[in-house]
Amino acid sequence: MNIDDTVITGVSALGGAFLGATLSYLLAQLNDRRKHRKRALHKALTVINHVWANLEIDGNAPSNPHPWDMTMAYDAVDMMIVYCKWPNRTVHLFNDAVCAYNPNTQMRPLTPIQSIQIFREQVRLELAVFPRFRKDEDVDKDRLWINKLVGAAFPTLSMGSAT
């Protein structure tokens, strides 16, 4: 082995180590972002559950009226904006699912219960969970939200622990 072969071998080894370290770093960053995205979307789904538990559905009384901490919604939106692949669409669908509107310029929307499923599908897309809901598949709107279950009790939630 001559000096040129030794230099080439050394440079190759150094380049390989650098490339490996760089790829390892990038994969760790992607994994960290995915964890934050998952946490944000789970928080958003929890907020949707709080909202819908407080809504009248088809003329029926709310299933579990209770106060909950509004900062959960703020945190969910902030986290979705920062960590989601498609933040504009995801936040828009979240706002639809929680019946969000500007009371100064808009009437309260009559949000169909299907908005929950549409947001769930966006969550699946954000998290690359497949198979996704098919457009031609019928979804029973009566099964998208659990209103009451025989014998079920709701936990007593304090404002700070509603998660």
Residue whose token pair is 């009384």: 61
pLDDT of residue 162: 45
- Average confidence (pLDDT) over 29-44: 88
Residue 146 has pLDDT above 60, yes or no: yes
What percentage of the chain carries pLDDT values higher than 70?
64
* Beta carbons within 8 Å of 49's beta carbon, 6+ residues apart: none
* Confidence category of residue 160, pLDDT binned at 50, 70, 90: very low
Question: Tokens representing 58?
Answer: 């088809």
pLDDT of residue 108: 76
Task: Convert the pLDDT of each residue in 102-141 to its tens digit.
Answer: 888 888 776 678 888 889 999 999 998 876 555 555 566 6
Domain ranges of the chain: 3-143
The more confidently predicted of residues 8 and 138 is 8
- Average confidence (pLDDT) over 39-66: 91
Task: Convert the pLDDT of each residue in 59-93 to its tens digit.
Answer: 888 888 999 999 999 999 999 999 999 999 999 99
Residue 143 has pLDDT above 80, yes or no: no
* Confidence category of residue 44, pLDDT binned at 50, 70, 90: very high
Q: Report the mean per-residue pLDDT for the chain.
A: 79
Instruction: Tell me the chain's radius of gyration from C-alpha atoms.
Output: 23
- Average confidence (pLDDT) over 13-37: 72
Residues 96, 59, 100, CA angle at the centre, nearest 5°? 20
Residue 84 CB-density burial (10 A; 0-12 exposed, 13-18 middle, 19+ buried) = buried
DSSP designation for 104 = T
Kindly compute the dihedral angle of the four CA atoms of residues 156, 161, 162, 163, in this order, to the nearest 10 degrees. Answer: -130
